[in-house]
Amino acid sequence: MAVWENYGENQRVNARAIHVPGSLAEVREIVTAAARDGLGVKAYGSGHSFSGVARCDTNEILIDLSPENEQLKHRCVIDGRLINPAAAGKPLVAVETAVAVYELSDWLNAQEHPLALPAIGAVNGQTIVGAMATGTHGSEIAFGPMANMARAFFIVDGRGDCLLVQPSTPVFKDRDALQTALTTLSGEAVWLQTALETARPVADDDLFRACLIGVGVVGMIYAVVLEVQPQFRLQETRTARTWEDVKAHWQMPAAWHEAKAAWEQARDHSAGEALRQARRTWQEAQHQTLLLMLKRYFPDGDAEGLYTFSFLVNPYPNRAEGTHSCFVTVSTLAEPASVDSPREPALDRLRAIDQACTTQSWFLRLRRSLFRGAQRIFNRLFRRLGLDEVLTDILVWFLRTVPSTIDDLIDAVLRADLGQRLGLSHDILTREVYEVKGWGIEVGVSLDRLVDAVDTMLAQAAEMRRRRRYLTGPIALRFVAMTEAMLGMSADEMTVQVEITILKDTPHAERTLPRLERILLDRYDGVFHWGLEWDVASVEDARRSYRHFETFRRIVGEHLDPDSRFANTYTRRVGIYTTGSEAGSAAI
Ligand SMILES: Cc1cc2nc3c(=O)[nH]c(=O)nc-3n(C[C@H](O)[C@H](O)[C@H](O)COP(=O)(O)OP(=O)(O)OC[C@H]3O[C@@H](n4cnc5c(N)ncnc54)[C@H](O)[C@@H]3O)c2cc1C
């Protein structure tokens, strides 16, 4: 028996064994052996999913494809001689599965001509494969989920066969041309050559779209081919407004409703090129609408070069004005020659908290003095000793012990990042939040439900507070452009993702997070996030949220995992596999 726990420590399982493969051949052996023994098998990446999507069931098999698996970290820029001329364009890289997002970003940036990922989630500790598998997205307004950068997958299916899954216009040349090209390569990227020689190529749009966000059931992904881009710089600006002001300006224009109606008509009644054209038109209409809407919140009203956009709303009103702080973070493409600004050290947070505690109640005055005293001590002692983490621990302890102080603290922490940051794309797109562990849920809603959904969350926070239950973090709102992925949250329409993040171990979180998720799903036709989910989603939610869900199930059941090898409690509960089916019986 071996125990595995996810990053959030809310998922734990006693596995029969945890295997650490070192090659494609070993991944195949593990799956084949599991099939022979009639056992279910799951892979985990960095374990950053809060849902049960990555764990195996008790006494079944786990495969460690996390960044700790040092053997599956090869990566290379793909030699142009291997690429199908019809698919050539931006640079392509091939990456083995255990590579973390931050490792990939650093490696891309270190290339002779620096490269970059076009999209990254709010953190970068996930594996690139694990992140894509649940639909991880960032704040990039035009890109969609990270899975949109995938161009091909090397997978080991439920019977241990290796497939190279590509769209109908494949990335790699056909088999004969590839063989010829491979002989001309020098000894570099032997691992990729081996994978290309081993895998059976399948160029099929549906299969590829199923693999884009595969939630761990489309096979063991051994490696992925990604389209990346030349490195770029971003200028980020965070400004403070109020939610009341933001929502007063959030009105969907009539053109958006018309474009949506036209898309729904086309989607239900056309096919082929007409459908593709309608989809492109709808995508463009949404993008233009969003730009128009977001311009209203720009510090200087200029949306030129807009790359990311997000709102962070304090769930609690400011005591003096009764309004909810709303921080607007935008980033725009910056000139290559701009100079980076240094990151905020953790101690500056304390200073910001100190400044924020201006309310005159005796308790807050006392707290302020305590912070001031603590700050002096920390400054003298802890900075010299380099113990920033202790400071964070103390703050987190304080919040957990006296969560009623959360309203000021949320503002204070977010205010610490007010102003501008400038830097390389991967530094600006992610935030260093690993000093504090959080828990969270996220639900995607249509742009026209944004205000109601947030107002409901604020009302819930107020009601919870009366019962001494607290949300110990802000509500984040990010926009996700459309994706071809069958299980993409934005497969049919751009979504605004409503994310509730709280400190890990916040009292009552196990009840409040699922409750809030349920409310967003039920009242706002929400779409659940495969990783940021508190295990409340049902098969009905999956069918309603994901239009291509049945097609996805069919592809998994008929092609990729006919014996339910990759099933677990989670994937059965959401209906990807028939409830109660065991590995070894038909998936559909
Ligand atoms: C601090 C934090 C911040 C986050 N920020 C964001 C964010 O900004 N945006 C967002 O959308 N999400 C966010 N998430 C959610 C997170 O990005 C997703 O849950 C993501 O899937 C985690 O990646 P991972 O590498 O940890 O994969 P895991 O959680 O380990 O696995 C995810 C899925 O991928 C499968 N898998 C992993 N590797 C393989 C493989 N090689 N072959 C087959 N299946 C595989 C697993 O079986 C599982 O089904 C955040 C989570 C945390 C904890």
pLDDT recorded at residue 587: 40
SS3 state of residue 585: strand
Is the pLDDT at 26 greater than 60? The verdict is yes
Q: How far is the CA of 128 from the centre of ligand 1 (A)?
A: 8
pLDDT in tens, 183-239: 877 666 889 999 999 999 999 999 999 999 999 999 999 999 999 999 999 999 888
Task: With cut-offs at 50, 70 and 90, classify the pLDDT of residue 7.
Answer: very high
Cα separation, 21 vs 18, whole angstroms: 10
Q: Whose CA is nearest to atom 51 of ligand 1?
A: 48
Q: Which CATH number fits domain 75-230: 1.20.1530.20, 3.40.640.10, 3.30.465.10, 3.40.50.720?
A: 3.30.465.10
pLDDT in tens, 113-158: 999 999 999 999 999 999 999 999 999 999 999 999 999 999 999 9
Q: What are the two backbone dihedrals, phi and then psi, of residue 348, each rounded to the nearest 5 degrees?
A: -65, -30
Ligand 1 pocket, residue 496 CB under 6 Å: no
Domain boundaries, the chain: 2-68+542-573, 75-230, 253-295, 346-416
CB 165 within 8 A of CB 153: yes
**Are 555 and 584 contacting, i.e. CB atoms less than 8 angstroms apart?**
no
From the CA atom positions of the chain, what is the Rg in Å?
Answer: 24
CA of 155 to the centre of ligand 1 (A): 18
CATH T-level topology, domain 2-68+542-573: 3.30.43
Nearest-angstrom CA–CA distance, 521 and 519: 5
Residue of minimum CA distance from atom 37 in ligand 1: 130
379 — pLDDT class (breaks 50, 70, 90): very low
Whole-number pLDDT of residue 360? 37
- Fold equal for 2-68+542-573 and 75-230: no
Counting DSSP H helices and E strands in the chain, the numbers are: 20, 21
Residues 80, 424: Cα–Cα separation, whole Å? 26
State the Cα–Cα distance between residues 271 and 273, nearest whole angstrom.
7
Closest atom, ligand 1, to C-alpha of 8: 53
Burial class (CB in 10 A: 0-12, 13-18, 19+), 262: middle
The closest residue, in CA terms, to atom 34 on ligand 1 is 130
> Does residue 568 line the site of ligand 1, with CB under 6 A?
no
Ligand 1 in contact with 46 (CB < 6 A)? yes
Kindly tell me if the per-residue pLDDT of 268 is higher than 80: yes
Predicted confidence at residue 318, as pLDDT, reads: 84
Does residue 215 line the site of ligand 1, with CB under 6 A? yes
To test the ligand 1 pocket, which listed residue (101, 126, 146, 498) has its Cβ within 8 A of the most ligand atoms? 126
Ligand 1, atom nearest to 49 Cα:
19
Q: For residue 585, what pLDDT is reported?
A: 41
418: pLDDT confidence band, cut at 50, 70 and 90? confident
Residue 248: pLDDT over 90 = yes
Cα separation, 149 vs 278, whole angstroms = 22
pLDDT tens readout for residues 541-556: 999 999 999 999 999 9
Phi and psi at residue 47, to the nearest 5°: 65, 30
Nearest CA to ligand 1 atom 21: 131
Regarding the beta carbon of 346 and ligand 1, being less than 6 Å apart is answered no
Distance CA 518, CA 135 (A): 19
Alpha helices in 172-271 (DSSP H): 175-184, 190-198, 205-212, 243-248, 254-269
> Where does residue 409 rank: exposed (0-12), middle (13-18), buried (19+ CB within 10 A)?
buried
Q: What is the pLDDT of residue 154?
A: 98
**Residue from 30, 65, 532, 552 to probe ligand 1 pocket by mutation (most atoms less than 8 Å from CB):** 532
> CA 441, CA 513: separation in Å to the nearest integer?
7
User: Is 62's pLDDT higher than 90?
Assistant: yes
Quote helix, strand, coil % in the chain, to nearest 5. Answer: 40, 20, 40
Q: Tokens 């041309």 appear where?
A: 177
Residue 586: per-residue pLDDT:
39
Most confident of 104-118, 458-472, 505-519: 104-118
Ligand 1 pocket, residue 134 CB under 6 Å:
yes
E-state strands within 314-382:
325-334
Please state, in angstroms and rounded to a whole number, the distance separating the CA atoms of residues 493 and 147.
Answer: 16
* pLDDT recorded at residue 344: 45
The pLDDT of residue 391 is 56
Q: What is the pLDDT of residue 297?
A: 84
Farthest CA pair distance, the chain: 79
Q: What is the pLDDT of residue 581?
A: 46
Give the residue among 225, 207, 208 at the shortest CA–CA distance from 82.
225
For 395-417, how does the pLDDT look when each residue is reduced to its tens digit (9 = 90+)?
666 666 666 667 777 777 777 77
With beta carbons less than 8 A apart as the criterion, state whether 439 and 535 touch: no
Q: Quick check: 77 pLDDT over 80?
A: yes
Of 502, 435, 440, 454, which Cα lies nearest the Cα of 310? 454
d(CA 17, CA 321): 57
Whether ligand 1 lies within 6 angstroms of the CB of 521 is answered as no
Question: Is the pLDDT reported for residue 90 higher than 50?
Answer: yes
Say if ligand 1 is within 6 A of residue 47 CB.
yes
pLDDT of residue 304: 74
Place of tokens 């912070």: 371
Least confident among 38-52, 373-387, 559-573: 373-387
pLDDT at 553: 97
Phi and psi, residue 247, nearest 5°: -70, -25
Say yes or no to pLDDT of 351 above 50. no
User: Beta strand 61-64 with 41-44: parallel, antiparallel or unpaired?
Assistant: parallel
pLDDT band at 168 (very low <50, low <70, confident <90, very high): very high
Over residues 36-53, mean pLDDT:
97
Q: Which pLDDT score, from 0 to 100, does residue 361 have?
A: 45
Q: What percent of the chain has pLDDT over 70?
A: 84
The chain-wide mean pLDDT, for the chain, equals 87
Burial class from Cβ neighbours inside 10 Å (0-12, 13-18, 19+) for residue 349 reads buried
Residue 126 beta carbon below 6 angstroms from any ligand 1 atom: yes
Q: DSSP secondary-structure letter at 80?
A: G
- Which of 21-25, 330-334, 573-577 bottoms out in mean pLDDT, i.e. has the lowest? 330-334
Q: What is the pLDDT of residue 376?
A: 52
What is the 131 CA–ligand 1 centroid distance (Å)?
4
| Percent of the chain predicted with pLDDT > 90 | 70
Least confident of 78-82, 160-164, 408-412: 408-412
Query: What is the C-alpha separation between 462 and 330, in angstroms, rounded?
Result: 28
On the question of pLDDT at 3 being above 80, the answer is yes
What is the distance in A from the centroid of ligand 1 to the CA of 51? 10
Q: Which atom of ligand 1 is nearest to the CA of 7?
A: 53
- Helices 346-356 and 362-377: crossing angle in degrees, nearest 10, is 150
